[in-house]
Chains A and B, each alone.
Chain A
Amino acid sequence: MATMIWMEGITQTFHLEGMDLPVLKQIDLSIDDGEYVAIMGASGSGKSTLMNIIGCLDRPTSGLYILDGSDLTTLDDDELADIRNQYIGFVFQQFNLLPRLSALENVMLPMIYAAVPKSARVTAATEALTKVGLLDRLKSRPSQLSGGQQQRVAIARALVNHPALVLADEPTGALDSKTSQEIMNLLTELNQQGTTIAIVTHDASVAAQTKRTIHMVDGKIVEAANGSVQPSANNLRPDAAIV
Chain B
Amino acid sequence: MKTARSPNPQTHRRKRRKVSLREILIMSIETLWNNKLRTALTMLGVIIGISSVIMITSIGQGVQQQTGAQISALGTNVMVVQAGAARRGGVSQGAGSASTLTWEDARAIAKQVPDAKAVTAFLQRGSIQVVRGNINISTTLLGTDLNYPSIKNIQPQAGLFFTQADLDSGRPVAFIGSTVRDELFRTGESTIGADLRIQGKRYTVVGVAESKGLSGGQDLDDAIYIPLTNMSSQIVGNNALTGVSINGFWLEAADGDQLNAAQFQVTNILRLRHGIKAGDVDDFRITNFVDIMSTFTTVMGSLTLMVGAIAGISLLVGGIGIANIMLVSVMERTREIGIRKAVGATSGSILSQFLTEAILISVVGGVIGVGLGVALAFAVATIFKFPFVVPLWSIGTGFGLSLIVGVLAGGIPARNAAKLNPISALRSD
Contacts and interface: CB of A to CB of B under 8 A. Distances in A.
Given A57-B342, A98-B339, A87 B5 contact: yes
Dominant SS among interface residues on chain B = helix
Given A81-B341, A84-B343, A100-B34, A115 B9 contact: no
A66 to B, nearest CB: 10
Given A86-B7, A90-B342, A96-B339, A70 B12 contact: yes
A164 interface: yes
A7 interface: no
14 contacts: A70-B8, A71-B9, A78-B348, A79-B12, A83-B12, A84-B342, A87-B5, A90-B343, A96-B339, A98-B336, A105-B30, A113-B19, A115-B17, A242-B9
A110 B347 contact: no
Contact of B7 (A69, A92, A162): A69
A157 B343 CA distance: 8
Contacts of B9: 69-71, 242-243
Interface of B: 1-2, 5-9, 12-13, 16-20, 23, 27, 30-31, 34-35, 336, 338-349, 421-424, 426
Given A82-B16, A82-B344, A100-B31, A57 B7 contact: no
A10 to B, nearest CB: 15
Contacts of A197: none
Q: Ordered nearest first, which 9 A-B pairs have the shortest CB separation?
A: A85-B344, A100-B34, A110-B343, A115-B17, A113-B344, A57-B423, A57-B422, A81-B346, A58-B423
A109 B340 contact: yes
A122 B239 CA distance: 102
A75 interface: yes
A202 to B, nearest CB: 20
Interface in A43-61: 52, 55, 57-59
A59 B421 contact: yes
Contacts of A67: 7
A26 to B, nearest CB: 21
A163 B5 CA distance: 8
Given A59-B421, A194-B2, 9 more contacts: A69-B6, A69-B9, A70-B9, A70-B12, A78-B16, A81-B341, A86-B5, A110-B344, A163-B5
A75 B346 CA distance: 13
A199 B22 CA distance: 37
Interface in A137-173: 157, 161-164
Residue with the highest number of chain B CB atoms closer than 10 Å, among A101, A110, A113, A114: A113
Nearest to A70: B7
A113 B346 contact: yes
B422 A112 contact: no
Nearest to B338: A96
A68 interface: yes
Nearest to B34: A100
Contacts of A78: 16, 346-348
A227 B161 CA distance: 120
Contact of B8 (A55, A59, A68): A68
Contacts of A218: none
A112 B340 CA distance: 10
A84 B422 contact: yes
A81 B346 CA distance: 6
Given A57-B426, A58-B421, A243-B9, A77 B347 contact: yes
Given A70-B9, A78-B16, A115-B17, A84 B347 contact: no
Contacts of A101: 34
B345 to A, nearest CB: 5
A127 interface: no
B56 to A, nearest CB: 37
A112 B27 contact: yes
B23 A115 contact: yes
Nearest to B424: A58
Nearest to A83: B7
Contacts of B5: 86-87, 162-164
B4 to A, nearest CB: 9
Nearest to A84: B344
A2 interface: yes
B359 to A, nearest CB: 19
A242 B2 CA distance: 19
Interface string A1-43: 0100000000000000000000000000000010000000000
